[in-house]
């Protein structure tokens, strides 16, 4: 069984990927400092899997601690999620984002050749496209100036990885450019669990529905979209998690490559459409109001994901309706975890 170090493996995307890795015969090793998640995720994983996977409470930028993990676990590959990810916060605290997101990646890359690890899947983002000139976006479109330090940290991460692969030509790297992951595991045992006030739309919706937040603010209703609110490409977290397994499967057969893949549904939904869909599928009403535009937000973006379908044999299977039902099931389960 191939052993995979999953940095940030207790986070939203990381924890779901851990489940799918185990389902597909891999052995994940979680490395997470729990700076933006909660140990309840480990309990949820245990309920789904019957056991808690091996995990280390470690900051991925801590070189000595990471070196010991590499030495002890002897991984076959790395999936690197560990990063701060809130666009708005990155505008307010840019140095926090540059220090964490870049230094953790550099640490992992420095250790890979030392331990003969030649395969890495990188958690990138559609934010690297900025506000694109045309839609849908494909992997060949030029990078635009992004709207946030978070976006620049992902652009920079991709540049570092491309240069690293050139200098280490037997290395295999997949740059997975996520669009907007939402939802939760269908059991309701794991899902998105941000510390403090959520920065992403759907956990703010579910916390508002649960009465934890007074109301939801829709940031802007004067964008050039069908209803004036921002448009995004929302993808079910299970579909996104499976893409990492398919990327690993593919990379294991490669002989020196660095390729980027868009991961999305291939269509856009506005913020107001998501709110209306959540209300419909869960049979409830949300308190929300229209607020001013938020710094760092782009108007609209959605993916052309045909490359991932052709090369990785992956495409989305689950709908927006299913994602929003699963997200609400997770929120309702939270007090019991």
Hey, which residues are catalytic here? 150
Smallest Cα–Cα separation from 296: which of 12, 82, 94, 37? 94
Task: Please give the structure tokens belonging to residue 299.
Answer: 């108007």
Q: Which residue has the tokens 């540049």?
A: 159
Extended beta strands in 142-188, E state: 172-178, 180-182
CA 84, 87, 91: angle at the middle one, nearest 5? 100
Cα–Cα nearest to 37, from 81, 78, 71: 81
What residues contact residue 67 under an 8 Å CB cut-off, 6+ apart? 111, 114
Whole-number Å distance between alpha carbons of 240 and 14: 10
Give strand pairing partners of 79.
6, 121
269-270 and 231-232 beta bridge pairing: antiparallel
**Residue 39: how many CA atoms within 13 Å on its side-chain side?**
3
For the record, the structure tokens of 121 come out as 């899947």
DSSP string, 259-291: EEEEES-SS-EEHHHHHHHHHHHHT----EEEE
Q: Residue 7 is encoded by which pair of tokens? A: 């940095």
Nearest CA to 299 out of 184, 135, 170, 173 is that of 135
Smallest Cα–Cα separation from 5: which of 75, 52, 60? 75
Integer Cα distance of 233 and 226 in angstroms = 15
Cα–Cα dist 304/126, whole Å: 11
Q: Which two tokens stand for residue 337?
A: 């975890």
């Amino acid at each position: 069984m191939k052993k995979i170090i999953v940095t940030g493996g207790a986070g939203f995307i990381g924890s779901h990927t851990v489940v799918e890795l185990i389902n597909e015969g891999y052995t994940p090793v979680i490395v997470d400092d729990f700076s933006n998640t909660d140990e309840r995720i480990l309990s949820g994983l245990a309920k789904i899997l019957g056991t808690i996977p091996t995990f280390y409470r470690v900051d991925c930028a801590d070189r000595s601690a990471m070196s010991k993990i590499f030495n002890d676990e002897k991984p076959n590959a790395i999936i690197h999620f560990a990063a701060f990810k809130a666009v708005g916060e990155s505008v307010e605290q840019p140095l926090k984002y540059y220090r964490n997101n870049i230094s953790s990646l550099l640490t992992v890359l420095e250790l890979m050749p030392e331990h003969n690890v030649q395969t890495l899947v990188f958690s990138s983002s559609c934010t690297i496209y900025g506000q694109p000139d045309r839609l849908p976006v494909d992997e060949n479109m030029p990078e635009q100036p992004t709207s946030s330090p978070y976006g620049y940290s992902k652009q920079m991460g991709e540049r570092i990885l491309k240069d690293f692969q050139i200098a280490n030509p037997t290395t295999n790297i997949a740059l997975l450019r996520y669009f907007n992951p939402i939802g939760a595991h269908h059991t309701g045992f794991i899902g998105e669990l941000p510390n403090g006030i959520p920065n992403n739309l759907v956990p703010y919706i579910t916390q508002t529905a649960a009465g934890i937040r007074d109301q939801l603010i829709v940031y802007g209703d004067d964008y050039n979209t069908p209803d004036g609110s921002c448009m995004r490409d929302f993808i079910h977290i299970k579909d996104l998690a499976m893409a990492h397994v398919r990327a690993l499967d593919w990379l294991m057969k490669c002989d020196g490559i660095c390729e980027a893949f868009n991961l999305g549904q291939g269509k856009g939904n506005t913020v107001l459409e998501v709110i209306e869909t959540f209300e419909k599928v869960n049979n409830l009403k949300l308190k929300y109001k229209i607020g001013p535009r938020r710094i760092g937000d782009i108007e609209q973006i959605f993916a052309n994901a045909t490359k991932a379908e052709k090369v990785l044999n992956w495409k989305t299977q689950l709908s927006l309706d299913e994602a929003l039902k699963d997200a609400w099931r997770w929120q309702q389960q939270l007090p019991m975890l």
